[in-house]
Structure 1
Amino acid sequence: MDFDEDEYELDGKEPAPVACIDCSNYHGVEYSGNLIVCSTYPLGWDGENCPEFINP
Structure 2
Amino acid sequence: MRAASPLVQCITNYVAMNFAANVLLATGASPAMVHSPEESGQFAVVAGALTVNIGT
What band does the TM-score fall into relative to the shorter chain? under 0.3
**Quick check: which one's helix share is greater?**
2
Structure having greater relative contact order (Cα 8 Å, sep ≥ 6) = 2
What TM-score comes out, normalization by structure 1 length?
0.24
**Quick check: which one's strand share is greater?**
2
